[in-house]
Structure 1
Amino acid sequence: NDDTTDQNFTVHLKHQNIQSIEAKTVKETIHYQGAGNQTPADNTAQVTFTRQVSTDAVTGEKTYGSWSADQSFAAVTSPVIKGYTPDQAEIGAQTVSGDASDLDFTVVYTKDAPTKPVNPSQPTTP
């Protein structure tokens, strides 16, 4: 309370950072085509990644942490449909990171060629 002297004050402001968690889901979809009404339904699976986000309360600037560890989709064997052959017998295992996009695969079934029937009245010569 000294009115005869100028008083100087230094104020240090610290921006508050708001911590939050961000989640991201990566999907794997296998589409099946070509087997008419026997065509299997799509096979879907998903994995979820998380990371920490720090948001400056004054500027709104965001700082992102690393995504959680890589995850894997298991290998998927194409369903067996009598009279049809898939172009891919299996979709192999897939390892993805939090930066990955959704995965889409298509398995196309082709009708098997008819087999020539054996005529029992005319046996083939061995």
Structure 2
Amino acid sequence: TGLHVEDLFVDLTDGYNLIALLEALSAEKLPRENGFTRFHRIQNVQYCLDFLKKKNIKTVNIRPEDIVEGSPKLTLGLIWTIILNFQVSVIKQRQREASGCQSLKFKQPLLKSSVLFLVNFTQIV
């Protein structure tokens, strides 16, 4: 997409890189304002904060204006919150997948007797 970050406190101020980050982490599409005025920048960051709120991720005392103005403390707080929450969701997903594999391993002998085989623990052939 051509997006890159050299200075976290500058490159997140328009909201585009923040939107791209959340889209990459969530595999969901976020709305965005095309423009470079202060209004567009604030609105793009607001879309990100609304998305996080919808995901039950708390962004306490972080306003779009804080990110647009490049506040180091609040920008780092937002990025840390995103890292923690998306990392935790990845760990939980892997735990669910692992527990699913354990139950499938237990059922494998039963499936063999009925000529069914598991492939990658997600498909029955």
**Structure having the higher Rg:** 1
Return the TM-score normalized by structure 2: 0.25
Higher strand share: 1
- Structure with larger RCO (C-alpha < 8 A, sep 6+): 1
Higher helix share: 2
